[in-house]
Amino acid sequence: MLEVILSDFQRLESETTMSEAQAEKEYDQFMGDSAVDKATKTKEIDHKNTKKENEANALSQAKEDLEANQKQLDAALKSYEELKEACIVEPMSYEERVARRNQEIDSLKEALNILEQQGPQ
């Protein structure tokens, strides 16, 4: 009976040793995989943070450029409106042109009369 107990104990010890060795191997594999995964994810986080900062800076620069361009556009539109008023003359109606021409003729006749009255000097 002691031999049976001894053989059972040896078998149990052998199984336990093999089980522990297998568990240790699985643990080491898991820890190695976890370390690689953690390093990869840390690098991804760093990369994404850098990308986020770069895009935030680009967005800020784009907003500043937009504001500057909008100011230039507003100034150009204001100048355009001022020039438009000065350059685009609305055509006069026929009656207005005739009235202005008659007024100019009358002014010229009056100037001629003044010159004739003064005579040659």
Q: Enumerate the domain spans of the chain.
A: 21-89, 92-121
Query: What is residue 88's DSSP assignment?
Result: -
Over the stretch 88-104, which tens digit does the pLDDT of each residue have?
777 788 898 899 999 99
On average, the pLDDT of the chain sits at: 92
Which structure tokens are listed for 29? 């594999």
Identify the segments of the chain with pLDDT beneath 50.
none
Q: Provide φ and ψ at 67, rounded to 5°.
A: -60, -45
pLDDT, residue 84, reads 83
